[in-house]
Amino acid sequence: MAAAGTAASAARSPGAPAGTAARVRRPPAARPAKLPPLLVLLAAAAGPGAGGAAQLYRAGEDAVWVLDSGSLRGATANSSAAWLVQFYSSWCGHCIGYAPTWRALAGDVRDWAAAIRVAALDCAEERNHEVCRAYDVRFYPTFRYFKAFTKDFTTGENYKGPDRELQTVRRAMIDFLQNHTDENRPPACPSLDPVRPSDLRSLLDTRGGRYVAVLFESEGSYLGREVVLDLIPYENVSVKRALSPDGALLEKLGVSSLPACYLIYPNGSRGMVTVGKPLRSFFSSYLKSLPDVRKKSLSLPEKATIEEGPEAVVWREFDRSKLYTADLESGLHLLLRVELAAHKSLAGAELQTLKDFVTILAKLFPGRPPVRKLLETLREWLASLPLDRIPYNAVLDLVDNKMRISGIFLTNHVKWVGCQGSRAELRGYPCSLWKLFHTLTVRAGTRPEALDGTGFAGAPQAVLQAVRRYVRAFFGCRQCAEHFEEMAHDSMDSVKTADQAVLWLWKKHNLVNSRLAGHPSEDPRFPKVPWPTPDLCPACHEEVKGLASWNEGQVLLFLKRHYGSDSLVDTYAEDLGDGGQGAPAAGEEQPRADQGAGSLRLPSALPPGPRLSERWRQGLDVELGGPSGAEGRGGAEAAAAFLGMGFSSLDMSLCVLLYVASSLFLMVMYFFFRVRAKRWRVKHHHPSV
């Protein structure tokens, strides 16, 4: 399941003020860090406090260039340097765990910045949603290379290294630089190719008024190229690399082992360089410390003079024994508007996965009536579509209520309560997903009749399999999704009853907690411990022969109570009266009881005919299943103004397509009969004598 949580709309990445050509920030110092374990499962925690700035990389502290929606294109387009950009999500547990490695890499290659730069962009930040969609970023983290002097728009080249270890990525950066042609190679980047044997002797006889270092190394070594790039910002020294020539020359120069450095001084003297260890850092440090070797001024993008500090986290007091509507609705907002929206279109198995998951949501989601009506509307619309491929923008039109249908609503921003974290990037979205998935399994067991007629009735694994397919196809943290799939593959088939489904998910949630304990994605304020804790459920815990164990019968009762409708509270939830288009009018009844959402078909699902307008007015009813009123007629009139009678962009596209096809058909038939008529007249024409 989800190892991380989307604090998307709360995130704020440090970019320069809007309107600058390149809102890029590169802090001066970076701190190397040990690579943490990369085997991260979905984080089982809850989420960032609203208003916090989820920043894995901070200007002024890290050597990473921080990009955003306003600076990405300007920084990478026609740049004099190449770029390696990590598209990440601040809620992704694997991204959080990998951040120290990315910081260490950026610090390690800081001197390469004139040739290639290490950057990061947070796709969880609300203002970056669109740019991540435009660059086709579906999963996190995604690594893309951008070549220097690229004028046309490109989504970049995917990193294809065998792993993401620091040394592997660093070497891949060198390979990428060498893939540039001579015409588009960054001007500040020296040649990384080895000196040809025929040119080596003349090079060794050079006396050019500056230091010339020749690094002898074996085939396949990267040390020489790394040292060449390390010395880019320094003047009065030139570094060349040479692959091991004939033994006689090496013996003449005094080279006894590889790698080795032969140095030619400005005054013409020469000799071998003696360092403590034949390592990159030793060679680079020695050459940088030579007399008269100093840093030169390089033209780099301007950095913002005013740094944005993190916003204060607004803490909301909450009861740990309660389930909060705000958490479920915030998670649903990110799921429908951000995570799924990363896919420009859906077809085949992905489309079927979405239909099945939305069906489960529509029938089992315990939220407020307008939210449930939205889900039911989406389910009916997806079920009625005759297409095998749909653009996701059509789904967004419905979720955003572009047709202004009265009585449906979903918050468009994040407000965590039970899923708050001590920092904005902790807990949040993954926490809300765990809560959502637990709630769905519990309600499938306590309200099995809700799935009647859906094809899932009587299937104890229905919810688990729908969740499994959703995570596998759409969850942004790829490594997290792979771990969840491993757990599902190993034991999900053993689930035979609805109660076993509830307990299976609980056990796997605790397994994730155990594996992530001590991981950088763990919130110190909410440590990952076996759940429920003894203070929440004393009866769930017992000892057998002195060993702590679970009373699964009591755990099942606790889960049904904790994720049941009676525990759901609307405290801090978005006010429906001011929540946006389609919200019920003030004073309307908003019952908590599980009422069925009124049946509603969108225009694309309605059959053609003269009764269309009447059915459309009925579909725009204000209350769930209630009679139409003045506000309903007002909603219909507003809908008529959007793309004509409430049709969505997909409907209008189909209309245009059918119009063009009909016109072409009529033209073909016209010319066909014109030609036939002419032939008939010629055949039956009798000229007069």
Active-site positions?
92, 95
In angstroms, the CA 598 to CA 372 distance is 10
What residue spans of 335-414 are helical by DSSP H? Answer: 348-364, 369-384, 392-399
Q: Take residue 172 and report the two structure tokens written for it.
A: 């891949």
CB 111 within 8 A of CB 230: yes
Crossing angle (nearest 10°) for helices 498-516 and 478-491: 130
> By CB neighbour count within 10 A (0-12 exposed, 13-18 middle, 19+ buried), where does 204 fall?
middle
Distances (CA, A) of 545 to 82, 542, 548, 549, 554: 63, 10, 8, 10, 19
Backbone angles phi, psi at 466, to 5 degrees: -65, -40
> Please, how many CA atoms are within 13 Å of residue 49, restricted to the half-sphere of its CB?
16
Adjacent-strand bridge partners of 270: 264
8 Å CB contact between 48 and 96: no
**DSSP string over 48-117:** PPTT----SS-TTT-SSEE--TTTHHHHHTT-SSEEEEEEE-TT-HHHHHHHHHHHHHHHHTGGGTTTEE
Q: In angstroms, rounded to a whole number, what is the distance separating the alpha carbons of residues 91 and 425? A: 5
CA distance 332 to 315: 21
Question: What's the CA gap between 146 and 81, in Å, rounded?
Answer: 9
The H or E element that residue 228 is part of is helix 223-230
Measured distance CA(139)–CA(100) in Å, rounded: 20
